[in-house]
Structures are given as structure tokens and as C-alpha cells.
A and B are shown apart, each in its own frame.
Chain A
Amino acid sequence: MSTKDGGFDDAVDALTELDRLRRGTRRQRRGFWFPLILFGLLILASAPLYSVHQAVTTDAQSQAKLLRYLKTFEAMQKEDGDLPIRSTAPAGVAVAACPVGSGPQVAACGLTVTQARQLRTLAPANPFFQTHITQPSPARAALFWLVAGTGGYLLTAAFYRRRSTRRGVATSVRVYVTAGVGLLAAVAATTAASIFPLGHLVIRQMVPLAAIGVGLVILAYAERSLTLAAVGAGFVAALLATSGVNTTPSPDGPSYLAFAFLTPYRLAFLGALLLAAGVVFAAAERIGRQAP
């Protein structure tokens, strides 16, 4: 190897070789397609648990009752912002935003567990409210994420460990797994305590999914992958977008952030997003390994 021109050729060759070795090692070490596919599937599996609390009417009489009740919510809220029942959005918005079947129907969406319970308590003589408010499922969803989410992180750790054994190199995912399980434990704790406003968001089931997105960004740091960081950030952005985050004017003061419920369809979209990204990365890794 020539050292003419101040070792230029030697230095260029060395840097080229270092880059080749770095890329080759990185290709063998990375495996983030696995958690993407796994958590994509888990999100899809959780979709049925995300049934919203809603009151649906199909006849004119019940529609009138529901609308009157929602307007009463708003009127009561304006009079006293500290009422036990608070409508999370103007009644008109809630009515318009709730997707129900065909036909002339009116629905009230976005009721929290407490609201649904108190709605039934406050209207004991009204059979409509007794029978048409769907049962809440945040507890089931929280339990699902505590068990399946923790299992998902442990499976991911096992996958990387197996990869380390078979290939001799793998990314250390200890921080990712610890952070992921910790976030899920925090979600479960806040769900149990129903702390406002975090508990409010947990009820809307955003937090477990946000924890997955944040976990992906942490994994991207461990994997040294800007692409994965972009996927994690994109997932969180899609979560916020599908959750219908907006500012709602409050009669008592400044506007506050409001979130719509995650519906099974929105969950399916978010799960498919991660699944598709995982499949693409898995295919890219397979192609990369087959390449000479």
C-alpha cells in the first residue's frame, strides 16, 4: 500500500474498510423488524377491546331524550365547572363524531367510565340509558397491555438474545425492555388510580400505545437507526392524529386539550402501520443477507 501524498491512499482505503466493517456488523446486529411486527400484531389483537362508551338511539323519542340530556350536560357545566359529570366535548360535536350504523341515529360518544356510571345513576327511571350505554372496557384493555405488552417486551428480549447466540452479535435491548415494561406498569398504576388528567387519557387508551411509540424511539437509539426513530415518531404522530387531538374551548377559562376515543378501526390502522413497517424491514434484512 502506497503512502505517497501523505498516506492519502492508505487513509482512504482504511476509512473505506472501516465503513464496510461497520455496515456489515450493523446489518448483523439489528433486528428491529421483530418488535415492529410483534407490537403491530398485539395492537391489532387489542382492537376489539377498544369499544367506546356510547349511547345510541334509533327512534325519535330517544333521540330527543339523548339530545336534551347532552344539552343539560353543557348547561350544567356552564353553571358549575365542578360537576361530577363533565361532557368532554360540546354535545353537538360528540353527537356528530360518533360513528353508528345506518339509519336515523343519534349517539353520544366520549363518555368516560365515571360518566357512563353516573349517567345510569342519574337517570334510574330512564330505561334508555340503562340499556343503551355500552359497557366500558378500559380495564380490560389496560389488563391486556399489562400482560400482552410485558410478554411482548420479554419476547423481544428473548429474540435479541437468541440472535446474539446464533450470530455472535446483537443489539443490547435491556434499556428498551426495562423502559417498556416500566411504562406499562405506570399505565396500569394510573389506570387503577384514575388520576386526572393522566388517568383521563389512560381511559382513552392512548397511553399504552404512546408507550409503544416512545419505546420504539428508545430502541432506535440502541439500534442506532434514524429510520426506526422516524417510524417511532411517525407512529406517535399517527396516534395523536387518529385520536383526534384538538383544543376545546372551556367556558370556565382557557381552552384545554381534548382527545377522541380510539376506536377499533383506528387501532387496526395503527397496528397495520407497525406491521407493514416490520414486514418491510424484515424483507430488507432477508434481501441484504442474500446479497453477495
Chain B
Amino acid sequence: VTHPIHDLDDLVHQRSRLGILVVLSEGGRVQFSFLQDSLGLSEGNLSRHLTTLEGAGYVTIEKGYEGRRPRTWTRLTSEGQQALNQEVAALKAIVARAEAHPRSAAPTRKLSPGTAVT
């Protein structure tokens, strides 16, 4: 039986990107500044993560103006929602398995650096 930890997607499981997906899932159309404040990320860092997620087809990025102020809005795609759902399901499966088998062996696969969410 495959351990559910292998169902985790490295692209999604990375801490900041997972946070971005969750905020977009709950918020709908979200401004760049709101994501920054919610996740405590620098502008450059958030931009890099968004570009990665956009490249995977998980988010869309829309640039425009509100009055004279430039704004950037982001939105989750259906693929992004599906990826998030799968990630959450995998995390819950890990918890459920650990609770059912407290002394189960540690997984052979290690999470990539920076994946832990604290």
C-alpha cells in the first residue's frame, strides 16, 4: 500500500504556495496586497510563487487600475482548486493513517526544504 505522503505535490505543498491557494480558494478574486499581508511575504517572493502557480495553470493573474492606482488581482482556476483539494485530502490521509497506526514506519520520501507549514 502506498503511503499517502507520496500523494503530496511538491509544487503545491510548498508552504507559501499552499497558503496562496487556500487564500484564493476562500477569497475568490484577491488583490496582490491582501495575499502579501495574509502570508507575510515580500513582493518579489510572492511574485515568484504566483508565477510558478500561473505556469502550472493553478492561478490567473490580472493587472489593471482602480482609479489611478495600479492593481494586481489573482484568482484560483478550477485546476488549482482541484490540486488544493487533492493536497488537503493527502494531508488528512496522512493524519488518519498516523492515528490508525501510531508506530508505522517513517516514509522513505522526505519533504522538500521549506515545505513545512508552521
Q: Are B22 and A18 in touch, CB under 8 angstroms? A: yes
* Bound complex: CA A266 to CA B38 (Å): 45
Q: Interface majority SS on B: helix, strand, loop or mixed?
A: helix
Q: Interface majority SS on A: helix, strand, loop or mixed?
A: helix
Q: Are A15 and B38 in touch, CB under 8 angstroms? A: no
B57 close to chain A: CB less than 8 A: no
Q: Are B30 and A5 in touch, CB under 8 angstroms? A: no
Selected interface stretch from A34-42, A120-128, A162-170: A162-170
Q: Are A168 and B30 in touch, CB under 8 angstroms? A: yes
* Bound complex: CA A26 to CA B37 (Å): 14
A71 close to chain B: CB less than 8 A: no
Nearest-neighbour CB distance to chain B for A11, whole angstroms, equals 4
Residues of A within 8 A of B110 (CB): 3
Q: Are A15 and B27 in touch, CB under 8 angstroms? A: no
Residue of B31, B94, B102, B118 with most partner-chain A CB within 10 A: B94
* Bound complex: CA A8 to CA B106 (Å): 10
Residues of B within 8 A of A171 (CB): 28
Residues of B within 8 A of A182 (CB): none
| CB under 8 Å from chain A, chain B span 5-58 | 5, 8, 13, 18-19, 22-23, 25-35, 37-39
B61 close to chain A: CB less than 8 A: no
* Bound complex: CA A26 to CA B30 (Å): 12
Question: Given the known A-B contacts A11-B95, A12-B95, A24-B38, are A29 and B28 also in contact in the complex, defined by CB atoms under 8 Å?
Answer: yes
Residues of A within 8 A of B92 (CB): 11, 15
Residues of B within 8 A of A16 (CB): 117
Residues of B within 8 A of A249 (CB): none
Question: Given the known A-B contacts A7-B94, A11-B95, are A169 and B27 also in contact in the complex, defined by CB atoms under 8 Å?
Answer: yes
- Across the two chains, which residue of chain A brings its CB closest to B37? A168
Count residues on chain B whose CB falls below 8 Å from chain A CBs: 43
Question: Given the known A-B contacts A24-B38, A168-B34, are A5 and B102 also in contact in the complex, defined by CB atoms under 8 Å?
Answer: yes
Q: Are B91 and A169 in touch, CB under 8 angstroms? A: no
A1 close to chain B: CB less than 8 A: yes
* Bound complex: CA A149 to CA B37 (Å): 36
Q: Are A8 and B95 in touch, CB under 8 angstroms? A: yes
Nearest-neighbour CB distance to chain A for B88, whole angstroms, equals 7
Residues of B within 8 A of A169 (CB): 27-31, 34
Q: Are B95 and A22 in touch, CB under 8 angstroms? A: no
Q: Are B118 and A13 in touch, CB under 8 angstroms? A: yes
Residues of A within 8 A of B94 (CB): 6-8, 10-11
Nearest-neighbour CB distance to chain B for A132, whole angstroms, equals 57
Selected contact of B107 from candidates A3, A14, A26, A28, CB within 8 Å: A3
Q: Are B116 and A28 in touch, CB under 8 angstroms? A: no
- Across the two chains, which residue of chain B brings its CB closest to A23? B26
Q: Are A10 and B106 in touch, CB under 8 angstroms? A: no
Q: Are A25 and B95 in touch, CB under 8 angstroms? A: no
Residue of A1, A11, A16, A17 with most partner-chain B CB within 10 A: A11
A241 close to chain B: CB less than 8 A: no
Residues of B within 8 A of A22 (CB): 22-23, 25-26
Q: Are A5 and B31 in touch, CB under 8 angstroms? A: no
Residues of B within 8 A of A1 (CB): 111, 115-118
Residues of A within 8 A of B106 (CB): 3-6
Selected contact of A15 from candidates B3, B37, B88, CB within 8 Å: B88
B interface with A by C-beta (< 8 Å): 3-5, 8, 13, 18-19, 22-23, 25-35, 37-39, 66, 88, 91-92, 94-95, 97-99, 102, 104-107, 110-111, 115-118
In the complex, the 6 A-B pairs of residues with the closest C-beta atoms, listed nearest first: A168-B34, A1-B116, A168-B31, A8-B98, A11-B94, A14-B117
